Amino acid sequence: MSENLRVKFSEYIDETIRVSFKFNGKTYHGFKGDTLASALLANNVHLVGRSFKYHRPRGIMTAGSEEPNAIVQVNDNTNRTEPNVRATEVEIYEGLEASSQNCWPSVNFDIGGINNLISTFIPAGFYYKTFMWPSNFWEKYEYFIRHTAGLGKSPTKKDPDIYDHKNIHCDVLVVGAGISGILAAKNAAKNNFKTLLVDEKNELGGATIYQNREFNKIDNESSSDWLKKEINELKNIKNLEIKTRTSIAAFHGYNYLLGRENLTDHLEKKEKHNQIRQRLLKIRAKKVILATGALERPLVFNNNDRPGIMLSSAVKKYADFFGVKCGKQNVFFTNNDSAYESALCLYNKGIKVNAIIDIRDNSNSKIVKAVEKAGIKIHWSHTVVDTRGYKRLNSVSIMKLSNDGMIVTGNKINISCDCLGIAGGWTPAVHLFTQSGGKLKFDEENKVFLPNKYPSDQISVGSCRGDFKLKEIINNLSINLKEFLKIEQVDFDKINVESEKENSKINIWLLPSDKAIGKTKPFVDYQNDATAKDIKLALREGFKSIEHVKRYTTTGMGTDQGKLGNMHALGIIADTTGVKMGELGTTTFRPPYTPLTFGTIVGRNVGEFFDIFRRTPMNDWHIQSKAEFENVGQWKRGWYYPANGETMHQAVQRESKAARESAGILDASTLGKIDIQGSDASEFLNRVYTNAWSKLAIGKCRYGLMLNEDGMVYDDGVTTRLGENHYIMTTTTGGAANVLGKLEDYLQTEWPELDVYLTSVTDHYATASICGPNSKKILNKIIPNLNLSDENFPHMSFKEAQIDKIKCRVMRISFTGEHSYEINVQASYGKSLWDKCMEAGKEFNITPYGTETMHLLRAEKGFIIVGQDTDGTMTPIDLQMDWIVSKKKYDFIGKRSLYRSDTIREDRKQLVGLLTDDPNIVLDEGAQIVSELNQNPVQMLGHVTSSYFSPNLNKSIALAVVRGGKNMMGKKLFIPMENKTINVTVANPVFFDEDNARLNA
Amino acid sequence: MFLINCPYCGERDQQEFKAGGEAHIERPKQPTELSDDEWAEYLFMRKNIKGIQFERWNHAHGCRKWFNMVRDTSNDEIKLIYKMGEKPPSD
Ligand SMILES: [Zn+2]
């Protein structure tokens, strides 16, 4: 089977460097410069996969990124494996391993092939109709589909490669380095535009560098030789950067494009090591020139999918560029002149062309004459009605087309061949243009969609704007480039271009066969196995919109987004329904143009770099003390400090007891801190908090509750008046950035007349909070000259002090209900402050505690945590915090909402305490609460928001929100759990030290 | 991805900005005088136009300033940017 199908001479293949690789476990050889596809073809391997639905054998169809069939898994079972890779884009290297993915158990014996035999029973919508019901069967269907359909395997090991992101700003971005792109980039750069030229291939020049030499000439030499000289000149041009192996994945608004630069995929394993594999380019271009070319169309006829049936342009490229003959007996089937150029290319290399089948009745172009002269048989007005060969094409049958092209007549002629090049005309690659928001117009004469209105500063040039002949390309490029770049002249104004002018073609979207359509398989979308008859069935079943037909038949929904077949689908719909193609519209092309790896998308933001962490100045101490950490917003906070193999429960119980019996210490540095200054600072606080601030004396602290305009609690914290016009506000750890944003919003947009300045100082201070009956003694050791008497330094007040000449702010405030102090120092002294506190507290067994103990202690006191006991639907009244809502103030944010008809309802969910009848049972946070057990349907009254076992009360306590809970004091409620029902009693949420005696202890 | 011309900093990438909903909705000066319906009108009702829309934007990861933008939501074209407190264009 393995044989060498190389033809002599290709300057792009280095025949001195032999490369061995494996495909489906078998070793093959190719040369440096080969793609996986060209190397396989050189070994006479066409069969590379199975189709998605019917599991028909499929071969390599194209030579580019539009490939629908040759989808492979590379380097399976290694940490570099990747599914859904197009064999036509993989450059081979020593040691490459690839395998077919659309087959199980193997490409030659495929169990799903049975689908092909029963395909009459798998029409359009089969999956929708069948797998919908019965629904509990879905798991079985899914297992079957996943095993038999080739979705490829995701890597399971850690990606060993490095990826990168790069921002690029340029004056002109040129996408595509065919002749149009090269000339556009060169002239842009020469006119002082900073220019970037990208192409998805590894060589510049597109199709022109292997264009027919005889019929395409520039200044009396072949266009390919002329272009090669131009390419050579590019390296001497300033302002021009060129990136090959770079494909543009997305073209967004405002000329923002995403590209993928492939740096190591073509290298051997040892060369890949420690190199950046792929780079995501984030390109912001002042101007964009799209020169993305055109894709050749297949023809839609019965059994048009056998291995050996390829695009005519691909057959030519494999011969010209890679030096590979795709078949020994070649036949072409065409509706235009393109196939003749391919036939002539093979003929000139001594490769046998048996016949050309042309659905037209004649063509007078020079190239057709040349083919006739070469003695190649042309069957005018004929069409292929069937093909044969299961795993490889062996012959085609042709018949004469009627004048209107609707039916076939006469005798069937069989022509043997192992390769059929099909040429259905060209589709401009307008994908990126439409992604950018561009609208298309339909050219009825040429049956193509062309760019119409540009949504940004961009143009399309070359064949992606509908220019297919060299002369037309060059002339229009000159005109458009001058206008677009506002330049007087281009350097190719005076060249003399000779190319074919004639290119008559006729379009028959679905070619007739001698068999009834129901008995044929004319594929429109190869990757998703959608045939013309599926589309017709969808139309019969009432689907009209192209978007609906697409989804019902899955046409164009594969990883190739139907790059080959979408036009035929549209054409068949138009023909069947009698609507003009231009009026049908097209489906939407979505980014990415070709698939992107996750690695490229995330770049360096992997592992610990995925999201930034914020750490307090005391972080090292927490780590040394074996703290378990909790993520709070972006902060890493000490959660609890297990000693001697304690469980979390044991550690939290110990910490909680110690804080109330002697002394505890908490790293409170993460609390949000906003410095507020200005002559209207007091008035500002009056407007943003529910309580009154004007009368707060300098040196005093006050707790504040902040609402949204809808009356719901948004944030809380203690604010201290440092001076006449100077406050420091603390916010919740997670809410700091949003609170600042909200306050800025009101200041700038609603109350610009207020003289207030806000500065975030969260990171500027480190905070140690010492609480417990011995906290006063400890603080006295640290700051001996500060008078800590209740008269001089009462609860809710503030003092400036110094510790070793370092300024600090000390607040006597409490979130635990204990006598406590918060000491704030400049962040860089945070660690030494902490060490001092630990040292001074040693004799009192000062116990560091984390967020879990903090939560427990405040729950004992019934203090809320915004975001845990509230969820954006709780008013202060719901929280039984009426005391903090000023009745006297005329207005504050959210005030009016507190007496809307909805917020004054008696049966709103309200915060209450819950005690379990069995004091040892700790409720689950989130557990639902009911009042009747035998109700149907059962009515949920609310849920548990906070729940702990209190070591200081020696019983379980909980906070909950309960419908009408305010009036339920003492009422028995139930919490039904999976295996039991827990009886609870509604209680006062302040469980511990109700008269706050300990604050002044 | 828009390119937004912050009136204080100049052209910056959209990712530095935060959208802040419909512009020119003034907070009532005397909320207590309003009926539930009138307050609800201010609180909840926002336009969602296909076409020319007046919006508030904030240069959140830049100068933190709020400003107004006139944007065509059908094609994302930014027609005009002007500072807070400036009158919206009449046409
Ligand atoms: Zn700015």
The nearest CA of chain B is from the CA of A888 a distance in Å of 12
Query: Helix or strand or coil: residue A179?
Result: helix
Q: What is the DSSP string of A345-383?
A: HHHHTT--EEEEEESSS----HHHHHHHHTT-EEEETEE
Q: How far is CA A996 from CA A363, A794, A830, A883, A957, in A?
A: 101, 14, 30, 16, 18
Parallel, antiparallel or unpaired: strands A353-358 and A330-334: parallel
Q: Does domain A162-294+428-498 have CATH number 3.50.50.60?
A: yes
Min CA distance, A489 vs chain B (Å)? 31
CA-wise closest residue to B5 among B64, B73, B82, B72: B82
For residue A961, give how far its alpha carbon lies from the nearest alpha carbon of chain B (Å).
Answer: 25
Round to whole Å and give the CA distance between A851 and A633.
13
How far is the centre of ligand 1, averaged over its atoms, from the C-alpha of B8 (Å)? 5
B1–A709: do the CB atoms touch at under 8 Å? no
Q: Measure the CA–CA gap between A994 and A665, rounded to whole angstroms.
A: 23
Enumerate the domain spans of chain B: 3-83
The domain A309-424 is classified under which CATH number: 3.50.50.60, 3.60.15.10, 3.10.20.30, 3.90.550.60?
3.50.50.60
Exposed, middle or buried by CB within 10 Å (0-12, 13-18, 19+), for A708?
middle
Q: What is the pLDDT of residue A945?
A: 98
Res A989: pLDDT: 96
Q: Which residue of A has its CA nearest to B20?
A: A745
Residues 68-87 of B with CB under 8 A from A: 75-76, 84-85
Residues of B in contact with A284 (CB under 8 A): 3, 13
A923 near A958, Cβ under 8 Å?
Answer: yes
Closest Cβ opposite residue A891 in set B32, B56, B85: B32
| Residues in A 502-531 with any Cβ partner in B closer than 8 A | none
Size of interface A-B (CB pairs under 8 A): 56
Q: In chain A, how long is the greatest CA-to-CA distance?
A: 115
Across the interface, which of A710, A741, A901 has its CB nearest the CB of B36?
A901
Tell how far the Cα of A757 is from the centroid of ligand 1, in angstroms: 17
- Min Cα distance A581 → chain B (Å) is 25
Task: Quote the CA–CA distance of A533 and A202 in Å, as a whole number.
Answer: 39
Whether residue B31 and residue A895 make contact (CB cut-off 8 A), yes or no, is yes
The fold for domain A905-1000 equals Elongation Factor Tu (Ef-tu); domain 3 (2.40.30)
> With contacts defined as CB-CB under 8 Å, which chain A residues touch B1?
252-254, 256
pLDDT of residue A49: 87
- d(CA A324, CA A14) in angstroms, rounded, equals 13
Which of A256, A709, A749 is the best substitution to test chain B (most B C-beta atoms within 10 A)? A749
Structure tokens at A557: 């929904």
Whether A748 contacts chain B with CB within 8 A: yes
Name the helix (H) or strand (E) containing A623: helix A619-624
The verdict on A541 touching B (C-beta cutoff 8 Å) is no
Residue B37 touches chain A, beta carbons under 8 Å: no
Q: B43 vs A710: CB contact, 8 Å cut-off?
A: yes
Task: Please state, in angstroms and rounded to a whole number, the distance separating the CA atoms of residues A432 and A561.
Answer: 13
Give residues with Cβ within 8 angstroms of A396, minimum separation 6: A331, A333, A357, A384, A386, A387, A388, A414, A415, A417, A420
B56 chain-A contacts, CB cut-off 8 A:
749
Q: Distance, in angstroms, between A440 CA and closest chain B CA?
A: 15
pLDDT at B9 over 80: yes
Within chain A, how many helices (H) and strands (E) appear?
Answer: 24, 50
CB distance from A457 to chain B under 8 Å? Answer: no
Strand A408-416 and strand A395-401: the pairing is antiparallel
Quick check: A749 and B84 CB within 8 A?
yes
Closest-CA distance of chain A to residue B91, Å: 23
Chain A residues within an 8 Å CB radius of B40:
900
Render A105-133 in DSSP notation, one character per residue.
B-SSSBGGGHHHHTGGGS-TTHHHHHTTS
> Chain A interface, mutation test: which of B43, B65, B72, B86, most A Cβ atoms within 10 Å?
B43
CB-CB under 8 Å, B58 with A253:
no
Domain residue limits, chain A: 1-152, 162-294+428-498, 309-424, 508-606, 667-857, 905-1000
Phi, psi values for residue A572, rounded to 5°: -65, -40
CA of A169: which chain B residue's CA is closest? B13
The Cα–Cα gap between A681 and A495 comes to 74
8 Å CB contact of A749 and B76? no
Find the CB nearest B43 among A709, A890, A891.
Answer: A709
A439 near B CB under 8 A: no
The pLDDT assigned to A1 comes to 41
Subunit contact A745:B58, Cβ cutoff 8 A: yes
Protein residues near ligand 1, an ion, with CB under 5 A: B 6, 8-9, 59, 62-63
Asked if B64 and A744 come within 8 Å (Cβ–Cβ), the reply is yes
Q: Do A284 and B13 touch (CB under 8 A)?
A: yes
pLDDT of residue A114: 60
CATH architecture of A667-857: 2-Layer Sandwich (3.30)
User: Closest by alpha carbon to A527, among A993, A78, A984, A70?
Assistant: A70
Residues of B in contact with A896 (CB under 8 A): 28, 31-32, 34, 39
Q: Cβ B31–A252 below 8 Å, yes or no?
A: no
Domains A162-294+428-498 and A667-857 share a fold: no
Would you call A744 an interface residue with chain B, using a CB distance cutoff of 8 Å?
yes
CATH code for residues B3-83: 3.30.2270.10
User: How far is residue A76 CA from its own chain's centroid?
Assistant: 24
Q: How many CA atoms lie within 13 A of A901 on its CB side?
A: 6
CA distance B14 to chain A (A): 10
CA distance A749 to chain B (A): 6
Residues of B in contact with A748 (CB under 8 A): 65-66, 84
A745 touches chain B (CB under 8 A): yes
- Residue A528: which of A146, A36, A50, A48 has the closest Cα? A50
CATH topology of domain A1-152: Ubiquitin-like (UB roll) (3.10.20)
The ipTM is: 0.97
Q: How confident is the model at residue A662, as a pLDDT?
A: 97
Chain B, nearest residue to A897 by Cα? B39
Least Cα distance to A849 among A724, A924, A951 occurs for A951
CB atoms within 10 A of CB A32: 17
Rounded Cα distance between A201 and A85, Å, is 15
The bridge status of strand A97-100 relative to strand A14-23 is parallel
Q: Tell whether A901 is within 8 A of chain B (Cβ).
A: yes
Nearest CA in chain B to A253: B1
Per-10-residue mean pLDDT of chain A, 1001 residues long, equals: 70 91 96 96 93 86 94 90 93 95 62 60 58 55 56 85 96 98 98 97 93 91 95 95 97 96 94 94 98 97 97 96 95 96 95 96 92 96 96 96 94 97 96 94 92 96 94 96 97 92 82 92 91 91 87 83 89 92 82 89 90 94 97 95 96 98 98 98 97 95 97 98 98 95 96 97 98 97 96 97 96 97 98 98 98 98 96 96 93 96 96 98 97 90 98 97 97 95 97 93 72
Tokens representing residue A255 in the block: 């000329």
* Minimum Cα–Cα distance from A167: chain B residue: B13
Give the per-residue pLDDT at A143.
59
pLDDT of residue A528: 83
Number of H helices, E strands in chain B: 1, 6
Residue from B24, B39, B68 whose CB has the most chain A CBs within 10 Å, to mutate: B39
A284 has a chain B CB within 8 A of its CB: yes
Contact A749 B43 (CB under 8 A): no
Element (H, E) at A186: helix A179-190
The pTM of this model reads: 0.89
